[in-house]
Structure 1
Amino acid sequence: MNKIVQYFNIKIFIYFLIIITAIYTLAFTWVFNLKDDGYILADWLINYQDGGFKRRGLSGSFFFILQDLTGIRLNYIVYFFQFLIIGGFFWIYTKLIRYKLTDFLYLSLLLSAVGFVGLLNTVTYVGKKEFIVFLLFAYFVYLLDNDKLSRIKEYVFCILLCISTLLHEVTLFYVPYFAIALYVKRGKLEYTKYLKYFIAVGVPTLLIMLFGKNVNEGMSLEILSKRGVHPIYGIFYWNINERQYIKEHITEYSLYFISLAISVFHIGYYLKYLIGRKFLSILLIGAFLFSLPLFYLAIDWGRWMYIHMMLMIILFTLALTKGGSIYVYEPIIINRKFYITLGIIILSLLYRVEMSGWGFTLEGILYRAFVAPLELLNKI
C-alpha cells in the first residue's frame, strides 16, 4: 500500500476528475439540447411571452430576443450560455484549488455519490440552472480567498443573485452559503453584511409568489414550436401534485435517508479535522434546514442533496492551506484516517443517488465501470 500511495498525486487526480466531469457534463448537455429535452433545454426557455411575469421566465425571454436578433436556433443559443456557465464554473473551481494543499480526505468529497461523481452517476444532473449558483459561489469564494471581494463587488453579487433567482428560484434556498463563506474567511459574524444577500434573493422570490403566473399559461408549447423547439415531455407538461407523488412513492423516497446519513457522516468526518468545526457544523446544519422547504415542495431530493455537497466542496477550499505549486498536495500517510477515508471513497463509488425516485441504489461508478459492460456483453 505504501508503494502505491507514494506515487499517487492527489492534485493531478483532482485535475483529471475536473476535466472528465466537465467534458461529460458539457457533452450530455449538448445531446439533451439537440433532442429538445423537455427538462434540461425547456427549463431555460420558460418565458414571459406566455402570460407575463413568472418564475424562471427571464431566461426564455432573453433567449427569444437573441434569436430575433441573430436568427440562430434556440438550441444553439441556449447551449452557448450553458457552455459558458458550466465551463466557467469548472474553470473558476480549478483556479480556486490550483495552489491549495489538497489531501486524501478532501478528494473523498469530490468522489462522493452526490459530489462531482454524482454528475457521472446521474446524467439528469447535467445542464441544470444550479450551475449558475455554482459559478457565482465559486467566483465569490475565489475573490474572498484572494482578498479581492470589495464592497462594490459584494453589491454586484447581490444584483447577480437577484437575477439568478429570476432564472431559478432554487437560488433562494442556498444563499446561506454566501454568508457562511464570509464567516469562514473572516472568522467573525457580520449580520449586516449577510442581510443584503438574503434581501437580494428574497425580494424577487416575494414578487414571484405574489404576481407570478404558471410556468405554462397555455401558449408556451405553441410559442416554442414556432421558434423551432418541440419538447414532447417535461416542464411544460408538468401537472403533478409533488407532495402526493412523494407519499405514493414513499418506499423509494425513504432510501434518501440512507444516502443522507452517509453524506452527514462524510461531512462530519471531514469537519473533525477543521479548526472551529463546531460552530461551522452548526452553520451548515442551519443551511440544510433553510433548504427544507425544497424537500417539501419538490420531488428532486437527490438534486437538492447534490447542490449542498457541491457548495460545501467549494466552501471548504477556504480552509485549505496554500502551497507554492499547482501540483502541491499533502502526502498520503497510511494510518487510521487513511483507511476510514478509503472506506468512505469505496462506499461512495458503490452507490448512486437518483435525482428523484430511488434515493439509494448500488449502481454507482464501480457498477457502471465493471458490471454494466459485462451485462451488455452478455445480452449481445
Structure 2
Amino acid sequence: MLKNDKKLNYYFGIYIAFLCFCSIYFLSTSYDHFSNNAISEWLINYQGGFVRRGFFGEFFAQISLFIKIPLREVIVNFLYLIFFIYYISIFLFIKNIQKNYFIIIALLSPLFLIWPIAEREALGRKELLIFLAFIFFSYIYNYLSFRLLLTLLIFIYTPILLTHEIAIFYLPFFYIVLFFKIEKINLERILLIFFSSIFFLFIIYIIYNSKMSSIELELMCSNIEKIFNEKCGLGAYFLDKNIEVYLNELGPKPTHLLRNLLIFFIGYIFLIFLIFFSKFNETKNIIFRIFNYQLVMIFLFLPTIIPFFIAVDWGRWFNISYTMLLLFYLFCFKNKIISFNKTNKIYFYLSKKFSKNKTILFLSIFLICFTWNPKAVYNEDIGSIPIYRILAKLHKHL
C-alpha cells in the first residue's frame, strides 16, 4: 500500500473535478444539436405506444409538459445533475480505499472515466444509470438485509432495463453482491432469487417482443415534433427493427479484431493484475468457499462480452465492461471481502520497480493511460493522446 493517501486523494479529486467540468461543459456546447445521438436516445418515449428504451423519455416528457420547460432542456439538466452525482460518488467510493500502484493505474485507464469525454459521441449515454445504481447498491450493502437489498434491486433496476435493455448483461454484478449477504442457503433465499430472476427475464421478454410498428414509430416521432418541437434521432429509427439488423451491421475484419484485442489487453492489464493478485478472505459464505475470486470475476466478465456480438459500439462495451469490473473489484476490496496476495512474484517485482524508480511508474501511467483511447465503433482507428485533445477542445470553445 502507498503512504500519503491524503495527497493521492487530493490529486485524484482534481482529476475528477476536471472530468466533471469537461463533461458538463462539452455537453452544454452540443446538447442542442439534433445530431447529438446521446440526447436523441433520451427523447425516446411512449408517445406512440410502449417501446423499449422509452421509460425515462416518457418521464422527461411528462415533466416538460407539467413545468412548461422544453424537453431537451429537461434532459440536459438531468444529465448535468447525473454527471455531478456520478463523479462525486466515484470520488467518495474510492476515497477511503488504501491504494497501491496497480489501483492507481487501473483508475486512470483510458477505458474508465476519461473515455466518454475523449469520445464525446458517448457523453451522456444511458449506461451512467447502471454505474450509479451499482455505486448506490454498494453503499447501501452494509445497511440492509438480503431481503431488503433484493427488493431495492428490483425497484432500481427495472427502470434501467426499461431505459436500455443492454443493462441485463450487467445484472450479475448486482446478484453477486447479493450473494455476499448469504451465509447459509435456505429455501426462502433460493425462492427469492429464483422469482426475482424470473421477473427480470420477463421484463426482457416484454422488451424484446415490443418491436414498434412503423405506424407507431411515425406516431411517436410526429408527437415528439408537434408537442415538443423535437426530432427523432438515429436511435429511434432502430426501434422497429429486429436484432438481425444490428447483427448485419457487424463484420469485423482480422485487423479490427487484432486492434480490439490490443485495446482489451492494454486497457485491462492492471485490472487483470489486481484480480490475479487477489483472493477471498476467510468467509462463512458457502458459495465463495467453493469458488475462487478469479473464477467469480470470469463469470461476471463473460456476459459483458455478449454486446460485442450484437452491435458495433465496441468502445462503449469496453467502457461499460471495464467500469463494472473495476467498481466491483473496488467494492470487494473496500469491504475486505478480498485481500492482496503480496507473496506473488510478479506483484512483488512490479511494486519494487515502481517504488524505487518513479520514472518507470510515471512512464507506465503516461503510456498506458494517456496516450490512446478506443473509438466508439469497432472499425475506427485508435484515438491518440486524449488529454491533449480534450484540452485543445476546451481551448477552442473557451
With normalisation by structure 1, the TM-score equals 0.81
Give the distance between the partners of 1:113 and 1:79, measured in 2 at CA.
Answer: 25
**Larger mean Cα displacement after TM superposition, 115-124 or 157-166:** 115-124
* Percent of residue pairs bearing the same amino acid type: 19
8 A contact 1:115–1:310 mirrored in 2: yes
SS at match of 2:251: helix
**Larger mean Cα displacement after TM superposition, 86-95 or 349-358:** 86-95
Which residue of 1 is the match for residue 346 of structure 2?
Answer: none
| 2:144 partner amino acid | L
Which residue of 2 is the match for residue 259 of structure 1?
Answer: 263
SS at match of 1:211: coil
SS at match of 2:37: coil
Which residue of 2 is the match for residue 213 of structure 1?
Answer: 212
Any residues of structure 2 matched to 1:1-380 within 5 Å, and which?
9-50=7-48, 52-144=49-141, 147-150=142-145, 151-183=147-179, 192=190, 195=194, 198-213=197-212, 217-231=217-231, 233-238=233-238, 241-247=245-251, 251-252=255-256, 254-276=258-280, 279-320=292-333, 335-336=352-353, 339=360, 343=364, 346-358=367-379, 361=382, 363-365=384-386, 368=389
Q: Cα 1:211–1:234, aligned 2, differ >3 Å: closer, same or farther?
A: closer
Give the distance between the partners of 2:43 and 2:61, measured in 1 at CA.
Answer: 8
**1:353: Cα distance to partner?**
0.6
Q: Cα 1:322–1:248, aligned 2, differ >3 Å: closer, same or farther?
A: closer
**1:359: Cα distance to partner?**
5.9
**1:166: Cα distance to partner?**
0.5
**1:190-243: CA deviation from partner (whole Å, max 9, x where unpaired):** 983654654453221111123342597223332222234444852234589333
Segments of 5+ residues of structure 2 without an aligned counterpart are 282-290, 337-349
8 A contact 1:47–1:60 mirrored in 2: yes
SS at match of 1:313: helix
**1:59: Cα distance to partner?**
1.9
8 A contact 1:161–1:197 mirrored in 2: no
Give the distance between the partners of 1:152 and 1:7, measured in 2 at CA.
Answer: 34
Q: Cα 1:9–1:104, aligned 2, differ >3 Å: closer, same or farther?
A: farther
Segments of 5+ residues of structure 1 without an aligned counterpart are 324-332
**1:304-330: CA deviation from partner (whole Å, max 9, x where unpaired):** 11011112232222244589xxxxxxx
8 A contact 2:252–2:379 mirrored in 1: no
Q: Cα 1:367–1:25, aligned 2, differ >3 Å: closer, same or farther?
A: closer
Q: Cα 1:189–1:252, aligned 2, differ >3 Å: closer, same or farther?
A: farther
**1:142-192: CA deviation from partner (whole Å, max 9, x where unpaired):** 122xx1133324302212111110011121011111123345677898983
SS at match of 2:63: helix
Give the distance between the partners of 1:181 and 1:279, measured in 2 at CA.
Answer: 15
CA root-mean-square deviation: 3.4
| 2:364 partner amino acid | G
**1:106-156: CA deviation from partner (whole Å, max 9, x where unpaired):** 121121111112133211221111111111100111122xx1133324302
| 1:71 partner amino acid | K
**1:87-116: CA deviation from partner (whole Å, max 9, x where unpaired):** 222222222223222233212112111111
8 A contact 1:104–1:341 mirrored in 2: no
Task: Specify which structure has the bigger relative contact order, considering alpha-carbon pairs within 8 angstroms and separated by 6 or more residues.
Answer: 1
8 A contact 1:165–1:172 mirrored in 2: yes
| 1:210 partner amino acid | N
**1:334: Cα distance to partner?**
6.6
8 A contact 1:183–1:189 mirrored in 2: no
SS at match of 1:275: strand
**Larger mean Cα displacement after TM superposition, 306-315 or 94-103:** 94-103
8 A contact 1:220–1:236 mirrored in 2: no
